[in-house]
Amino acid sequence: MSLLTEPFQDALYVIEKIEQAGHQAFFVGGCVRDSLLERPIGDIDITTSAKPDKIQEIFDEVIPVGIEHGTVIVRYHDVSYEVTTFRVESDYSDGRHPDSVQFIDKIDLDLARRDFTINALAMDKYGNILDLFKGKEDLHNGLLRTVGNGKERLKEDPLRILRAIRFSSQLGFKIEKDTLYAINDVKPSLEGLAVERITVELEKLFAGKFVRLGLKYMNDLGIEKHLPILNNYQILQKLGDRIRPVHSLEEVVCLIHQTEPSIDIRTITKGWKCSNKVLNKAIILNDAINYYKSHDLTNILVYKLLPDLHMSFARLTEILFTQKVNEKKLFRLKSNLVIYSKKDLAINGNDIIELFPDRKRGPWIQDIITQIEELVVEGKIENNNSILKDWIKWNPPGVN
Ligand code: ATP
Ligand code: MG
């Protein structure tokens, strides 16, 4: 079988153009690894002897995302290709970026700077694999092994510790013995990393098909003691074998809070520097989980849960409770809802003001709408203008 599967076919153009200009270019890293494993290919990364300014000359559409580190994005047929010049790098003393990079004209040292043997594979335009560190053998045996001396490589950039664990969670691979020892030695250096980088890896780790294996490594190695939020609790131990893959950061945040209710959601999102979008979704999910605990699956719960959070909610119930919520039932309740938002109510603020012309406007109007909304969603009252008006007349707002 040719390794140059469909996603690589378009990318061949990029490689060929660079070669025609007199430079070398290869597919590299995750795309080669995943192609050999016959897994779906994520982004296609290209490594080249051409300097970034040359790449900018060769292609029409180039986005200079990290020129100082040698990386630009080439756009071709609406796909982005990360093209990086062969380079070597020094320490990551700020926990974020290498202190300096040096461009080189041969690929070998560029492959040597990569984290794991399975990520240090390159492939040419014919599908030939360049494998300087026995990466194919490790792929075959399902092993994560650092390129070169484990301790040195992990010290250079301790994020590689978390990357090892997240690859084990994604691929179901074991961590090779010496690499494991090195992780154990170097783990306190995790504390110097930029939080954003940690969060990205944690999100991928929790989404891995083999997350149970990943969390077992985290536990056995005592990694959580060196990570924000997780450091003062035994959350992963509590989660134990119940864990299953979750596919978004908001799910992870909600799961952590549900497992250790003494850490509130805002503390987690702040500690992990999550966006407000993640915070808001985590709150909605968490409210839904709490509501579910006391009321089971009701119309109101489904109504308040945004449609794009349905799957997240179902996945969380499977981990947190003995029984997963029935997705079919969830979707049936959703499609049978009488209204999807307040706007669909057959009554509005003006109708209510007209019913009580002598009352000063105030929050009481919203209070009535919220009451009516719940009744309509629960099917206790018909969404019909005159029926709703009658109900309000018989249940007038309290005096306040
Ligand atoms: P994914 O499928 O998650 O994108 P990936 O292997 O492509 O996995 P990236 O983070 O996209 O991971 O990195 C691309 C390549 O760059 C890696 O395969 C690896 O060769 C190299 N790399 C990335 N991060 C590091 C790092 N911290 N240290 C050394 N090499 C790294
Ligand atoms: Mg990648």
- 224-262 residue pLDDT tens: 999 999 998 889 889 988 999 999 999 999 999 999 999
Q: Are residues 100 and 133 in the same domain?
A: yes
CATH number of the domain that residue 309 is part of: 1.20.58
Q: Are 89 and 167 members of one domain?
A: no
- Flag whether pLDDT at 268 surpasses 80: yes
159 lines ligand 1 (CB under 6 A): yes
Q: Using CA atoms, how far apart are residues 93 and 270, in angstroms rounded to an integer?
A: 24
Q: Residue 359 Cα, ligand 2 centroid: separation in angstroms?
A: 62
Q: Which of 81, 113, 115 to mutate to test the pocket of ligand 1 (most atoms within 8 A of CB)?
A: 115
Q: Are 75 and 121 members of one domain?
A: yes
Tell whether 127 and 170 lie within a shared domain: no
Q: The domain containing residue 173 runs over which residues? A: 142-231
Distance 135 CA to ligand 1 centre (A): 14
% of the chain exceeding 90 in pLDDT:
86
Distance 280 CA to ligand 1 centre (A): 30
Instruction: Identify whether 237 is part of a domain.
Output: no
> Could you give the CA distance from residue 236 to residue 224 in angstroms, rounded to a whole number?
8
In the reported structure, the alpha carbon of residue 28 is separated from the centroid of ligand 1 by a whole-number distance in angstroms of 9
* Residue of 33, 114, 132, 204 to mutate, ligand 1, most atoms within 8 A of C-beta: 114
What distance in angstroms lies between residue 30's CA and the mean position of ligand 1's atoms? 6
Residue 1 clears pLDDT 70, i.e. is over it: no
Structure token pair of residue 385: 């203008």
Of residues 185 and 308, more confidence is placed in 185
pLDDT above 70: residue 399: no
pLDDT of residue 308: 87
**Ligand 2 centre from 352 Cα, in Å?**
56
Query: Does the beta carbon of 260 sit less than 6 angstroms from any atom of ligand 1?
Result: no
Return the CATH number at 75: 3.30.460.10
Testing ligand 1's pocket by substitution, the residue of 119, 133, 145, 157 carrying the most ligand atoms inside 8 A of its CB is 119
Residue 241 lies in a domain: no
User: Residue 146 Cα, ligand 1 centroid: separation in angstroms?
Assistant: 12
Residue 41 inside a domain? The answer is yes
Considering the entire predicted model, what is its pTM? Answer: 0.91
400 is a domain residue: no
Residues 170 and 212 in one domain: yes
- Mean pLDDT, residues 11-40: 97
Give the closest ligand to the alpha carbon of residue 81: 2
Task: Answer yes or no: is 351 within a domain.
Answer: yes
**pLDDT, mean over the chain:** 94
Centre of ligand 1 from the C-alpha of residue 235, in Å: 28
Indicate if the pLDDT at residue 62 is higher than 80: yes
**Listed residues 201, 231, 261: the one ending a domain:** 231
> Does the Cβ of 87 fall within 6 Å of ligand 1?
no
Per-residue pLDDT reduced to its tens digit, 135-172: 999 999 999 999 999 999 999 999 999 999 999 999 99
Which numbered ligand comes closest to the C-alpha of 167? 1
Per-residue pLDDT, averaged over 277-293, amounts to: 97
Same structural domain, 265 and 224? no
Query: Are 260 and 313 in the same domain?
Result: yes
Residue 52 lies in a domain: yes
Q: Are residues 81 and 38 in the same domain?
A: yes
Is the per-residue pLDDT at 389 higher than 70? yes
Q: Identify the residue whose C-alpha is closest to ligand 1 atom 24.
A: 115
Of 231, 260, 283, which residue is a domain's last?
A: 231
Domain assignment present for residue 240? The answer is no
Q: Report which ligand 1 atom has the smallest distance to the Cα of 160.
A: 27
pLDDT score of 93: 79
Boundary of a domain, candidates 317, 337, 357: 337
- Whether ligand 1 lies within 6 angstroms of the CB of 29 is answered as yes
Per residue in 326-366, pLDDT (tens digit) is: 888 898 999 999 999 999 999 999 999 999 999 999 999 99
* pLDDT score at 92: 80
| 71 pLDDT above the threshold of 70 | yes
| pLDDT above 90 (res 100) | no
| 360 shares a domain with 297 | no
Structural domain tally of the chain? 4
Please give the number of the atom of ligand 1 that sits closest to the Cα of 166.
3
Question: What is the pLDDT averaged over residues 92-121?
Answer: 92
Q: Domain check: are 281 and 384 in the same one?
A: no
Report the pLDDT value the prediction gives residue 51, as an integer from 0 to 100. 97
- Report residue 4's pLDDT band, with 50, 70 and 90 as the boundaries: confident
Classify residue 236: in a domain, yes or no: no
The CATH number of whichever domain residue 348 belongs to comes to: 1.10.246.80
Ligand closest to CA 153: 1
